[in-house]
């Protein structure tokens, strides 16, 4: 197949923005994105825009424009329970933003001849790009948990001429079957802190690379690049200048919290004061990350002020039933806390500890995966 004109425009756009390494130009030109996108999808035409349903049959120009925009395209809501054009509650499969795809491949550094494993097939486009990069002497395996998504991706890859890509239906979070070793493993679904399957490390050759978007209940990202060493340990750091937000692996999903049913001014709460404006630690990724590490399982929300109430910052731990609300009151902030965990006290302590360390960025944190333990820590000299 010849590369459609839209491909050249996308490659030129990504190249001019510095998002696409020169060595990946041939792969992006050869594996046209449109070959892998369904006739119907949802997307947001701009940051903060509402989800829009697009149909190739009725609006082919809009469809093609969206396909070659640097935007993610949602191809499934609610595990397939929501039918197009209805907007569902939870996006559950998508075609990732092209600049993010390029950035993740740059972090992965696949080479000709590599054996590569992708976890989360989606439309099959990323697997096709990998196949172009590793070439005929390499091999690409991709694993997808959703049967319908896997079947469609397999068909997309076959139609586009990538029959050599092995598409497997299965749950990679539960472990990887067989004993095949890989030089590169890339995950396109969010992996929770402490839950990266060790089988991924076991199946990576020493010196091999794993790239995975790691997250906590309070924070999406960062994208972490791990290198596996001889003793079976994977060590990694967040990739700088690349922010990602991926759907969770299905077994890592957490239930949502209905903050709207809670009373921020509950008289039964223990009350105290803080001089720290809660929006400072909660509304910036680097600032919130130490809190997310210190309070696993905790969720947060920030409400803008309205005619009926002041601005409110929330912390909630569904497991213990603890919660905290923080609101401005005069020149200080009123803290209300309920339950066995004093969430705001712990959050403020974690944030101030991070500030005392010199406010190190996400890339300063060190990730370690062993057979027995998973950790994310700051080395003693970080931020100094």
Q: What is the DSSP secondary structure assignment for residue 219, as one 8-state letter?
A: B
268 annotated active-site:
no
- Judged by DSSP in three states, 192 sits in strand
Catalytic pick among 94, 96, 99, 325: 94
Rounded-to-integer distance, Cα 130 and Cα 135, Å: 8
CA–CA distance from 183 to each of 115, 124, 170, 237, 366 (Å)? 5, 20, 20, 18, 22
The SS3 call for residue 226 is strand
Q: Which residue has the tokens 């990350």?
A: 289
Q: Distance between CA atoms of 378 and 295, rounded to whole angstroms?
A: 16
Alpha carbon distance 259, 46 (integer Å): 27
Spatial distance between the Cα atoms of 296 and 347, rounded to a whole number of angstroms = 11
- Judge residue 267's burial from the number of C-beta atoms within 10 Å of its C-beta, 0-12 exposed, 13-18 middle, 19 or more buried: exposed
Spatial distance between the Cα atoms of 381 and 362, rounded to a whole number of angstroms: 14
Task: Name the pairing type of β-strands 139-144 and 166-169.
Answer: parallel
| φ/ψ (deg, to 5) at 171 | -105, 100
Q: Is residue 347 within 8 Å of residue 373, measured between CB atoms?
A: no
Q: Where are the beta strands (DSSP E) in 163-281?
A: 166-169, 182-187, 191-192, 204-215, 223-228, 234-238, 270-274
- Does residue 68 contact residue 5 with C-beta atoms inside 8 Å? no
Cβ atoms of residues 66 and 75 within 8 Å: no
DSSP string, 9-20: HHHHHHHHTT-S
Among all residues, which ones are annotated catalytic? 94
């Amino acid at each position: 197949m010849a590369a459609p004109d839209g491909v050249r425009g996308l490659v030129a756009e990504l190249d001019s923005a510095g998002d696409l390494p020169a060595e990946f130009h041939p792969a992006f030109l050869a594996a046209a994105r449109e070959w892998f996108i369904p006739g119907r999808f949802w997307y947001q035409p701009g940051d903060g825009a509402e989800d829009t349903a697009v149909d190739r049959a009725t609006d082919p120009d809009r469809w093609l424009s969206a396909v070659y925009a640097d935007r993610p395209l949602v191809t499934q809501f609610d595990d397939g329970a929501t039918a197009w054009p209805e907007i569902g509650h939870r996006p559950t499969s998508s075609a990732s933003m092209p600049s993010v795809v390029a950035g993740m491949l740059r972090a992965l550094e696949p080479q000709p001849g590599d054996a590569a494993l992708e976890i989360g097939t989606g439309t099959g486009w990323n697997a096709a790009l990998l196949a172009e990069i590793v070439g005929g002497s390499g091999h690409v395996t991709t694993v997808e948990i959703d049967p319908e998504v896997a079947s469609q991706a397999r068909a997309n890859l076959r139609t586009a001429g990538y029959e050599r890509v092995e598409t497997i239906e299965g749950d990679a979070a539960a472990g990887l079957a067989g004993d095949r070793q890989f030089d590169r493993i890339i995950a396109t679904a969010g992996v929770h802190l402490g839950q990266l399957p060790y089988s991924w490390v076991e199946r990576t050759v020493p010196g091999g690379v794993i790239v995975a978007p790691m997250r906590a209940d309070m924070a999406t990202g960062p994208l972490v690049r791990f290198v596996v060493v001889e003793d079976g340990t994977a060590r990694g750091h967040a990739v700088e200048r690349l922010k990602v937000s991926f759907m969770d692996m299905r077994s890592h999903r957490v239930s949502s919290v209905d903050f709207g049913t809670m009373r921020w001014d509950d008289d039964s709460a223990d009350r105290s004061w803080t001089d720290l404006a809660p929006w400072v630690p909660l509304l910036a990724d680097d600032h919130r990350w130490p809190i997310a590490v210190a309070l696993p399982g905790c969720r947060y929300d920030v409400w803008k002020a309205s005619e009926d109430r002041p601005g409110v910052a929330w912390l909630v731990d569904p497991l213990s039933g603890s919660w905290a609300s923080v609101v401005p009151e005069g020149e200080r902030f009123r803290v209300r806390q309920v339950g066995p965990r004093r969430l705001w006290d712990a959050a403020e302590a974690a944030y101030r500890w991070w500030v005392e360390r010199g406010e190190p960025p996400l890339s300063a944190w060190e990730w370690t995966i062993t057979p027995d333990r998973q950790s994310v820590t700051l080395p003693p000299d970080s931020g100094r």
